[in-house]
Amino acid sequence: MPRAELEYPKRPLGTVNRYSPRASYSLRVIHGIVNTCPTLHVSFNSPDSPFPAVLPMIGQMGSFDRPSSDEGDVLDLYLHGYVSSRVMNLTRRPATDDSPPGMPVTVAATHVDGLVLALTPNSHSYNYRSAVLFGHATLVEADDEKLYAMELITDSVVAGRWQNSRIPPNKAEMSSTSVLKVRIATGSAKIRSGPPGDEKHDMEDPAVVGNVWTGVVPVHMSLGAPIAGPYNAVDKVPAYLEEYIKSMNEVGVDHSVKAAEASAKPGKKPVDD
């Protein structure tokens, strides 16, 4: 018997209100969007600044306590990037009656899958997958959990790269590397796919329809041929790297084309936001 798909709670903070049919609260969907996004944008408030801060970081969902968990399970988000003393101090914020320990953060991930070109400028859009997570970030202190997170994040850059590099990290590397762990409170995703949608009066106007091209231009990230570094001494590109590039490019093309070819619901104008 298949297990039930887990969802994040629909709290006011994370509930999608505009074009709610595009929303998903599925852990599997949200975690999949986050795990395939090369850069995550992490926002937080700092008491010494009048403006919210936003940091681009590399991140991956995982569970140190249950490393065999998949994307449909309850997971934490591990983030790697430059962690300033200001951020470190904020992550040491103690628990209160209203919230768990750590720095409150909002994490955003977005993929653009297509340029949606309609009859009028107002109806242009993107095909996209976006996810937002809300949680509390703390600094990972234990070496065993830090190593777990470093491997998880390294293999998110190129699958299998951790085992195909010089490991384990030495003491200096461990001490200079900071990893944040975000315990997720809630989250949501919003996804658009399919063709453009225009108003009926424009679609029934031959002068407009006959002069304006409409459709979708698929968009996907493409990985190019590897270029050896100046001190590379390995003659051939490793098989695991070639396979990863081939797989990622095929997946990217397939997803963007399927998103472009997805059908709108009968009788309904596609959502253009």
Domains detected in the chain: 20-193 (2.30.110.10)
pLDDT at 270: 55
pLDDT of residue 98: 75
228 pLDDT above the threshold of 60:
yes
The predicted structure's pLDDT at residue 142? 95
Dihedral Cα 35, 216, 14, 18, nearest 10 deg: 180
Residue type, position 150, single letter? M
Cα separation, 54 vs 78, whole angstroms: 16
- At 36-72, the pLDDT tens digits run 999 999 999 988 889 999 999 999 999 999 999 999 9
- Do the Cβ atoms of 136 and 99 come closer than 8 Å? yes
pLDDT digits (tens, 9 = 90+) for 4-21: 789 999 988 888 888 888
Report the mean per-residue pLDDT for the chain. 92
Check pLDDT > 60 for residue 2.
Answer: no
Region of 71 please: left (phi>0), alpha (psi -120 to 50) or beta. alpha
Q: Which pLDDT tens digit goes with each residue over 129-183? A: 999 999 999 999 999 999 999 999 999 999 999 999 999 999 999 988 899 999 9
Question: Is the pLDDT assigned to residue 22 strictly greater than 70?
Answer: yes
Instruction: State pTM to two decimals.
Output: 0.91
- Name the residue among 86, 153, 126 with its Cα closest to residue 217: 126
